[in-house]
Amino acid sequence: MASNLAQWGNKLHSGETTYSIVGNRKRWFMVSAVLMLISIGILVGKGLNLGIDFTGGAQYVVPNVETTSPEPAEEAVAEIAPGQEPRVTTLGENDIRVQLGEITSEQQQELTTALADAYGVDESTISFDQIGPTWGAAVGQQALQGLVIFLLLVFVVISVYFRAWRMAAAAIIALIHDLLFTVGIYALSGFEVTPASVIGFLTILGYSLYDTVVVFDKVNENTRHFDSQVRYTYAELANLAVNQTLVRSINTSVVALLPVSSILFIGSYLLGAGTLKDIALALFIGMAVGTYSSIFVATPLEVALRAREPKIAAHTKKVLELRESGETEVARTEDGSVRVGALKPGEHKGQGAQPKRKRK
C-alpha cells in the first residue's frame, strides 16, 4: 500500500500521471460558488449562535450535579426571571452551564439559590459571571479588526514575496472561501460562537495560507521562465505544480485532521468535554476545506486572473498554434489533458504523443 502511494506520488511529481485540475477550473469554481451560496443562505436564514462574550449577559456554572437535564434550570429561570430564554449546556460529565440575558443583582442571588435547590448542590459552589453588552460588542469589533489586518498583511507579504499581486488576490479569495464555508457549517450546527471559536477561525486561515503558499511556491518555480519554451502553456505548467504538491497536501491534511478529529469526536462527544467543541469543529471543517481550496481554488483562480495578461496570452496562443500545426508534440493522458514533462525522446503516437508532421 505504502509502495503504491509512493509510486503514485513519484508519477505525479515527474508528470507521468497528471490530473487536469487547472484545466477544469470552471467546474471547481462552480462547486465553490454553490458552497458559498449555501453558506450565505444558512448565515442569513439561521444566523450564528453568539455566546455572551459577544452579546453580553449572565452565566452560571453549576458543578457536580446529579442530573444534566436542562429542565430544572429552565424552570428556575422562568420563575425568577420570566421572559428570559436560558441556554443550558453540559460541561464534562456532571457540570452544567446556564446562560441568559442581563439580570439584576436581586435576580442574580435568587437564581443562584434556585439553581442550587434545583440541582441539589451547595450554593457557594455555583460560579457566576456577567458581561455587559458594551464589552461584548467590543470583543466582536476587535475580532473583526484582527481579521481585516490579517488579510491585509497576507496580501502585502504574498505580493512582495512572489512579486505578483494576482497570487495574493487568489490566496485572499481562497481564505475568504474557507472562512465563509466554515462559518456557514458552524451556523448550521448551532454551536455557540465563543472566543475559542474565533481562535479556531484564525488558526484555519493560517493553515490554509500555509498550504496555498507551498503550492504557489511550486507554481512560481515551474512558471518562472515559461516563455523560454513553446511546448507548454502557463496553465499547464501551473497544473503540473498542483499535481507535484498534491501528495504533500493530502498527507499534511490527514496528519493534521487526525488529532483534531480525536478532540472533536472522542473528546467532545464520548468523553463529554463540551468546552472543546467550539474550537475543534472550526479546526476540523476549516482544515478540510482549506486543503480543498489550496488545490482546487487558489491555483486555478491565479491562472484565471493571469490568463489575460498580454505576455501569458500571447505565449499561450503561440503554443497552441504550434501544437495544432504539428511543429511541437506533447504526451497526453487518457482524458486528453497534457502530461507536462512526461514526453521522452523518441516517444510517438503509440505512447500518447502526437507525431510531428513533415514539412513540405
Does residue 116 share a domain with residue 166?
A: no
Angle between helices 246-261 and 2-14 (to 10 degrees): 140
Q: What is the mean pLDDT of residues 220-237?
A: 90
Last residue of a domain, one of 131, 149, 181: 131
Q: How far apart are CA 173 and CA 155, in angstroms?
A: 10
CATH number at residue 108: 3.30.70.3400
Q: What is the mean pLDDT of residues 16-22?
A: 84
Q: How far apart are CA 186 and CA 335, in angstroms?
A: 38
Beta strands 95-100; 57-62: pairing state:
antiparallel
Q: How far apart are CA 197 and CA 129, in angstroms?
A: 20
Q: Which domain holds residue 231?
A: 2-50+135-312
- Give the CA distances from residue 340 to residues 216, 226, 261, 262, in Å, rounded to whole numbers and listed in that order: 17, 12, 37, 40
Does residue 82 share a domain with residue 40?
A: no
Judge whether 166 lies within some domain: yes
Judge whether 65 lies within some domain: yes
Which residues 6+ apart lie within 8 Å of 200 measured at CB?
278, 279, 280, 281, 282, 283, 286
pLDDT for residue 258 is more than 60: yes
Judge whether 199 lies within some domain: yes
Which of 12-16, 60-64, 209-213, 217-221 is the least confident region? Answer: 12-16
Instruction: Output 344 or 114, whichever has higher pLDDT.
Output: 114
Does residue 293 share a domain with residue 195?
A: yes
Does residue 191 share a domain with residue 103?
A: no
Query: Cα dihedral angle (32, 36, 37, 42), rounded to 10 degrees?
Result: 140
What are the strands of the beta sheet with 87-91, ordered from one edge? 87-91, 95-100, 57-62, 127-131
Q: What is the mean pLDDT of the chain?
A: 82
Does residue 270 share a domain with residue 160?
A: yes
pLDDT for residue 33 is more than 90: yes
Does residue 145 share a domain with residue 157?
A: yes
Judge whether 349 lies within some domain: no
Give pLDDT, residue 268.
60
Give pLDDT, residue 203.
82
Query: Which is nearest to 53 in space by CA: 184, 215, 224, 193?
Result: 193
Q: What is the mean pLDDT of residues 112-132?
A: 85
Judge whether 333 lies within some domain: no
Give pLDDT, residue 133.
65
Give pLDDT, residue 197.
81
Q: How far apart are CA 163 and CA 101, in angstroms?
A: 51
Does residue 85 share a domain with residue 212?
A: no
Q: What is the mean pLDDT of residues 260-274?
A: 67
Q: How confident is the model at residue 205 (pLDDT cuts 50, 70, 90)?
A: confident
Give pLDDT, residue 1.
57
Does residue 288 share a domain with residue 235?
A: yes
pLDDT for residue 300 is more than 90: yes
Alpha helix segments (H runs only) across the chain: 2-14, 25-45, 52-55, 71-80, 105-119, 133-162, 165-189, 195-223, 234-244, 246-261, 277-293, 299-306, 310-325
Give pLDDT, residue 354.
42
Which pLDDT tens digit goes with each residue over 152-194? 888 898 888 888 888 999 999 999 999 899 889 888 888 778 7
Judge whether 244 lies within some domain: yes
Does residue 244 share a domain with residue 110?
A: no
Highest mean pLDDT pick, 10-14, 192-196, 209-213, 234-238: 234-238
Last residue of a domain, one of 106, 131, 156: 131
Highest mean pLDDT pick, 75-84, 206-215, 310-319: 310-319
Last residue of a domain, one of 312, 327, 355: 312
Does residue 184 share a domain with residue 290?
A: yes
Here the cell at position 197 is 471559536
Q: What is the mean pLDDT of residues 99-104?
A: 83
pLDDT for residue 216 is more than 90: yes
Judge whether 301 lies within some domain: yes
Which pLDDT tens digit goes with each residue over 313-360? 999 999 998 888 877 777 777 666 777 764 444 443 333 334 444 444
Q: How confident is the model at residue 5 (pLDDT cuts 50, 70, 90)?
A: low
Does residue 189 share a domain with residue 107?
A: no
CATH number at residue 253: 1.20.1640.10
Does residue 161 share a domain with residue 107?
A: no
Judge whether 345 lies within some domain: no
Task: Please state the domain count of the chain.
Answer: 2
* Widest Cα–Cα separation across the chain: 100
Q: How confident is the model at residue 293 (pLDDT cuts 50, 70, 90)?
A: very high
